[in-house]
Structures are given as C-alpha cells and as structure tokens.
A and B are shown apart, each in its own frame.
Chain A
Amino acid sequence: MTKIVVVTSGKGGVGKTTTAASFATGLAARGHKTAVVDFDVGLRNLDLIMGVERRVVFDFVNVIHGEATLKQALIKDKQFENLSILAASQTRDKDALTAAGVERVLDELVAEFEYVVCDSPAGIERGAHLAMYFADEALVVTNPEVSSVRDSDRVLGLLASKTRRAERGDGKVREHLVLTRYNPARVAKGEMLSVDDVKEILAIPLLGVIPESQAVLTCSNAGVPVIREENADAGLAYQDLVARFLGEERPHRFLDQKKGLFSKLFGG
C-alpha cells in the first residue's frame, strides 16, 4: 500500500527540504517508486535541491487548477527513473492550495507511486496544514535547539489532531524523529542538547541523526541531494535513515565526536 509521508517541523530552516530530497532519493535508490511534492507555495526550493529547476514547466497549482495534467507536471529525476518531482508554484496567492485540490492530486499520485513524500513549508498555516493533513507517516525534522524542539512538539500535537487519520479515527500518523545539524563535539562539551535530551522531551521514536556537515551546502550548490554523497557523514546518515525507515536495523553512526589527529595518534 502506498504511503504518504510528510516532512514537517514547524520552525523554518531546520532541514526539511534537505531531508525530503534525500529521503525521496534514498527510497527511489532502493527500488521504490517515489514522488516528492513541494508544498512551499510561493517559496519553491525543492527543485533547486533536486537539481531540476530548469525543467519545471508546470507546477502543483497548475495541476490543481486543471491547467496541466499531473503527468505533464511531474519531472523525472535524471539519476533514478522511478523518482519524480512535483514543483511548488511561485504564485503569491496563499489560497492557491485547496484541500479538495490537494486531495485529488495526492489520490492520483497514490495510484501510481509507492511513496509520496510531502515537503512542508515552515509554520503551521495553510500550506503546512495541507502538507500533513493526508499523511500516513511523518518525519519530524528538529534541530538540537530550544525553539526548534518546542515547535516540533507543537507539530506533534497537530499531527495527532488535525490530520485526516485523526479526524477519521483511522489510527495515528506514525511519527519519526529526525534530528539534523547535530554537532557531537558541542554536545560533548555540554553546549548543545543531546539526542537523548531531545528524544526524552518529544517522546517519539528516533529515525535518524544527521550531523552538521559542510557537504550539505556543497551538494545544494550542485543540485545533488546529499544522500548521493557517499564521502560525507550526512550522506551516509541519510542512507541509514532510509534503511531504518524500510525496516532495517542500523546503528547510529555519527553520535560521537570525530576523533582529531591528536587523539587518533595518542589514543583517548
């Protein structure tokens, strides 16, 4: 059965789009037919991170308004032919997304794909609400930072009440914690909330911890999802995350401080 997975956070700029791009790419790389949809109307981003910005002809809102078919608007990934991207519209009309329109497009995607990944905008307004409303599962992207954690808790409350599953009494939206921009060295010094701290406060299962990594910027510069960067911790961490999502057991590899040359040479 097809799963709709929302990538959400409340707070802006925590790594939702980075996560949605890598997550969708990882699912496709493992053989699952996947669509990733940008819900950030007015502030399209996913196309750049996926490296397809020059191939956007029609967008999500065009499909909702019947100005293009879904087939015309879906952009096929160059690397993985079982991966498609639906870009957000750049319209400034906040009401461009309607619940009925979104439902119709998602129904069509569900009929064709195994996974539909929804990249939510920040906030808890209309766009964010519609991105999570039809979800079966949610990746709650959080930074180890007070405002991000509190916003994530807020979003968990919404997932439990303001979704189709909640309203129909269809069982809960399955929640996964994705802790990003994690800096083990700062955690070790007591300067940053640890993964255990955040887990304890939010009390949802941990899917993955993505370390703070320069590769994320390099990859977004190039329009390549960081999961395809095999030489970067963040890329490997996303690969582990996808494997866990698909039911594999994988240890969390990047929770400890990287050993510097000194401690490598002298132990410690």
Chain B
Amino acid sequence: MSEIIKLSSPSDFESLREKIIKGRDPNRTAVAVCSGPGCLAYASGKVFKRFEEALSAAGLEGEVTLAQTGCHGFCERGPSVVILPDEICYLRVSPEDVNEIVETTLKNGAVVERLLYKGEDGLPIQKESDIPFYKYQQKVVFGDNKRIDPRSIEDYIARGGYTALVKAITTMTPEAVIAEVKDSGLRGRGGGGFPAGAKWEATAKPPADTRYVIVNADEGDPGAYMDRGILEGNPHSVIEGLMIGGYAIGANEGYIYVRQEYPLAIDNVLYALDVLRELGLLGENILGTGFSFDIIVHKGAGAFVSGESSALMSAIEGRVGEPRPKYIRTSISGLRGKPSCLNNVETWANVPLIINKGANWFKSIGTEGSKGTKIFSLVGNVKNTGLVEVPMGMTLRQIIFDIGGGIRDDKEFKAVQTGGPSGGVIPEEMLDLHVDYDELYSAGSMMGSGGMIVMDKDTCMVNVAKYFLEFLSDESCGKCVPCRDGIDQLLEVLRRMTAGTARPDDLDLIEDISVMMKECALCGLGQSAPNPVLSSIKYFKDEYVAHINDKSCPGGVCKALIAYTIDVEKCIGCGKCMKVCPVNAISGDKKKPHKVNNALCVKCDSCYQECPSKVQAVTKIRQADVITAFATSEEAANE
C-alpha cells in the first residue's frame, strides 16, 4: 500500500474499492510467476529474479506488473509462468528462458512456442484455460491465484475482495448469514464433510460471553497441499471467510492454526493481517459497524493428529496437541471451554463466494448431497499431477484421465486412493463413481481433505496399506490401546504378508482388530486408521490371498516374494539391463537373449524399468519358482 488511510465507514471502503478499480487497466500486461511449493522446488525463485532484472533492463518495469503468486495448479510442469491478460501459459520455465520471454512476448507480442504445452496432437496450446489439465476444471476458489499477488490487498479487492464481508456486516443479520450458508449446502472440506451452516448454528446457540472461530490449516495428509496453495496464494479469501463466520456466530476472535512447515503461508497471512489492521478492516468497530474482530495465527508443530479438532484446540491453549477424551462437542465447549467453530481452510474460502453470489449460485454446482467444488491434490502414477478444482459430481475417471491425462508411461490403471491415510482405495470398476461425500463413503473411502493418489498396475495393494499404516503408526499419539497397539499389530500382520510369512488366519485377525478400532479408538485417527486396509481387502482380496497362500505378490513389489527373469522369446539383446544392473547379475551377448543370475540379483528393479517398454522382456516371477526359472532361462539362453 502506498499510503494507508484508515477506513471508518462502509462508504470509505467503497471509495477505496472504486479508486483501486479505476486505477487499473484490465489490459495491462502482468507476469505471474508461480512460487508455490512445486515450482519453488524447480527454482521459480530464480525465474522471478531474472524477470525483475530483465524487465528493468528492457525498461518495462513501469508497463508490466510482475508478481510472485501462489500455486497455479499444474505443478508437474513447473515453474509455471502465466502472462496476463492473454493467459499465455509457459511451463517448465527455466531462468535461462526469461530473456527470451521478455524479448519475444512482452516486447514483441509473440509467443515462445517451445515453452507452451503440447497437446495430444503435438500442437502447442497457448491459452492456459485451453490446456486439457485446466479445461475440465472449474476454478471457483482456486482460480484467482494467478491474478493475485498474495501481498497485495489491492489485487484482492480489485477481484471483489471484502465486498462479501461488507455486505454481511452492513446488510445482513448474523442469523441471515448462517441461513445463507446453511441453504448453500456447504459441507466441511477438511475431513468429515459436516454441514458448515449447521455447525455455525450450533456454535452460535449456547449462551456464552465468548466464542471462537478457527481455521484448520494443519494439513497433515502426506502429499496434500490444497490448503497450503490457498493460504499462500490467496490468504485474504480465508481471512474474509473467517471474519464473516465470526460475525455470524458472534465471535470476536479468530484463530488460524497453521503448521509451521508452511512458513510462506504463515508470512503471507501475517502480512495480510497487518495490512487489514492498518486499514481498519480488522480490530475494533470495523468500518464503524460495531463489529469487532481480530485474528491470531498459531503455528502448530505439524503433527497429523493435531488436525483433529480437540487436539488442535488443546494445542492453541498451549497444551500437548492430543485429542481430548471427553464426549462434548467443541461447538458447545471448545477452545478454553467456549463454543468454538473449527473449519478447514477451503471451507472458509468458500464463504465469501456464497455471501456474494448467493446460496442458489452455490447450489447450482455439484450433486444433490455435495454442493460446490472441491480441490484435489492429484498425485501418484498419473501424467499430470497438481492441484485441481472440479465441480462435485465429476467422475473419478474424468479427473484421472481427462484432467490427469491418464496413467504415466501408459501403464494400466489399478486403483485410486482418496481421502488420505483415513480414506480408502477405489478400483477400476468404480472409476465412474462421482466425487461426492456420500458416494465415496459408501464405496468404503471418503472425500477427506482432497488427497487423490493414482496407482498403476505395478502397485501392490498390501504394500500400499502398509505404507499408510506406517504413516499412521508414526502419527498416532499413543494414548489409547485400540489405536496405539492396534496399528502396531496390524502392521505386524502386513509385514508378515509382504515377507511371505503370513499365517492362514491373518485376514481374520485384521478384521478383528479393524472393526474394534473403528468403534473403540478414542479419536478419528484411530477410528479411521484401518480404512486403507479394509478397503483394499474389500476390492483386492485376491492380492491378500496371494500373499498369504501363494507367497506371491501380484503387483510385483514385495521383494521377498518376487524374482526377476528375462523372457528369452522377447529379449532383443540390447544390453540395457546389463548396463544398469548394480551387481552384474545380468549376462548375455549382444543381440542374444540375456539372463539374470538370481543368486546375485538384489531386486533393485532397474532392469525391469530399463528394458524398452516395447519389449518388456524383464519379467517378475515368484521367488518360490526361482530355481526352475533360472534353469529355464539359462537353458534357453544357452540354446
């Protein structure tokens, strides 16, 4: 902000807004350099620096706006640079490309073709929204990232920011705000999918002198970063939602609980709060309406269990972030024993949109029971990974194949895990399932906070279940027996399976422990911990049975159960496998079938990966069959 004038009435705000909009040329060129977590890892910081230098060298600083923005979504192809207003989307931009972009695009109005996305037909696509990854998305919450410098409240206000807050506190009663949110059908985006309006109402109801509204930005799911993407890229949207919630519920204090592993999110939020206080949009008697509200940022230790509502509130109170054992709703007795409303980052970010555009608009997106959009973090063996925002009701197939571009290396699809470590896997037969809280739940998975991990045919479902349980075993607080010792023993069973030492009745043991945990564990972590195991048994029981009875791993992953061999019929003798083998276990003459010496092989999988995908001569077999396989391939190779 150049000069800060304290706003003391709604009309002050309106004049500021008009001034900002008037001062803006919609056709002004702007360069949005993504500085989300994915792109930063690909040196987008350097790209930004180069732009600063190049623009000043070209004397363009005055004409072109340059901004470091939050995640654009297509992290797989980062660093992503979008040139507005034409939305020219450059991907995998390196610092060395910057001068050319400035020269060609900013100075001469042409495009640098080699940095554009190439479609299936090999033709370059210029506009971001025409790229298939973006084309099928509906960016409602997440779309402004590339148009907003997270450090600029003017950018946010120019996009309609804080008009919802002003509308709520000047023209609506708290009850009317709650009614609108209730009517919209907005459900929690952080896990359980609880109706937000009903929670607000329950928090507003009990008589109390103090109430709290809280943002859950613990984001503990491995591989998920939707909330980070919003907080880093568009912090004001969450803050505005929280303020509207505070007004509706009757709270004068809000908390944002962010894991400390998100320093940029924390910085951007703190910066935004400072600006708001200076402007008079936060603090005592906001815009002279009598509504007072302030926000405190709490940095959390980043434990998965701290995201659980009672644990999170304990942590804010300065105690150990462990779940409370009491059966009392936090809407009645939450933070410091006061009625408290906790919602997820994405839930809060939807609120200003609902207030501005109305419940009916919101309801027009989505399915009967799930309204609006949802952001997913699409990762795993899918071609286009990144953050995607889709309308509720889209099928998993559309997300994975149309947006995600299908399976990497054109392998076969096997399953998709939704809902993070508390969710479950969904098999190919159910790919036409709609993204909808209830549909996912009845399929044995859940929406969760939006993790979506795609797995190809070379995945072992037992091993995947083991991976999630290992994560949860590290994250369990260890307080209650069902979770602490249940996970421990479940892991023992899965370890036996992957080591080929499973017992015949191990599936019964899994069942006994799991059903008990679901109903007896103290908090949601333990109650949902068996889900990844149960859902994969539901759809991939044959794989479990193979591990137990046949000592084989159909996914070809569990090292103790597999061995490598080369199919003499297919091998073209290119020698690639021999070169990568770290222990010289492969031998063979040029253009002749090669062979694996299983006595030497350490099962590193390199040869399997290296053998040309058209040939696929390296094959995985059962360890138990090794003697014969070795003999056959040797005989064959010697023929």
Indicate whether A and B interact. Answer: no
Chain B residues engaging chain A, CB cutoff 8 angstroms: none
Q: Could you list which residues of chain A lie within 8 angstroms of chain B, going by C-beta atoms?
A: none
